[in-house]
Amino acid sequence: MHNPSDRILPGVITQIEPLHNLVTGNWKENAVATTNSTTKQLAAFALIAGYFYLGGVGVESGSYTTIGAISLAYATSSLFGYFGLADTPITRLMRVNGVSAVCAAMGLMTMATGGMTMALAVITIMHMFDAYQGAINTERDNSIGANLDNEYERQGLNEERANSDGPVVNFFTESWRLNSFNKKNFETCQIV
């Protein structure tokens, strides 16, 4: 199945990988999946949380209301995308990497014309980092074992990674007390 954006983009844009990534995908899409590294999971979630906080600060203070409102909408859509939810076209459009590039440019222009605050500088740097990550991340080949020659080996890797939760999910779903009342520890447990 083809991505609708691949059909409507001119061939010139689709041939330039960073530009194609900016206007068609989001590097934080389904970042909570176990196939992603812990660094990607944490960086994506930290960016989304930062957008919520600093976007709210901008809207509340009135110093950078437009960037703050766009950042809040982008963070909301990205949070749904982080968990692999909300696949409607409008929510996918709101979380493409190009939104961060536009917000970074808006932040730089706002700092040049209206004065700089620390919150505006931080949210601009966050958008610049987000746009950079979006441009260099390849969205065209997301398969885990894309470079493997053996199809059976690739399926084995996919099944193994799909069945095990990642460290971020395990942190919230498993307890450190798990299996504390097994036979080995049964003698030390006393019920009074």
Tell me which residue has tokens 């979630």. Answer: 45
Instruction: Give the pLDDT confidence score for residue 35 in this predicted structure.
Output: 84
Instruction: Give the pLDDT confidence score for residue 178 in this predicted structure.
Output: 53
* In the chain, where the domains are located: 16-136
What average pLDDT does the chain have?
A: 77
Lowest mean pLDDT among 46-60, 83-97, 167-181: 167-181
| Angstrom distance (rounded) from CA 85 to CA 71 | 19
Instruction: Give the pLDDT confidence score for residue 93 in this predicted structure.
Output: 86
> pLDDT grade, residue 107 (50/70/90)?
very high
Give which of 34, 60, 47 is closest to 158, Cα–Cα.
34
Mean pLDDT of 15-37: 83
pTM of the model: 0.67
Instruction: Give the pLDDT confidence score for residue 52 in this predicted structure.
Output: 97
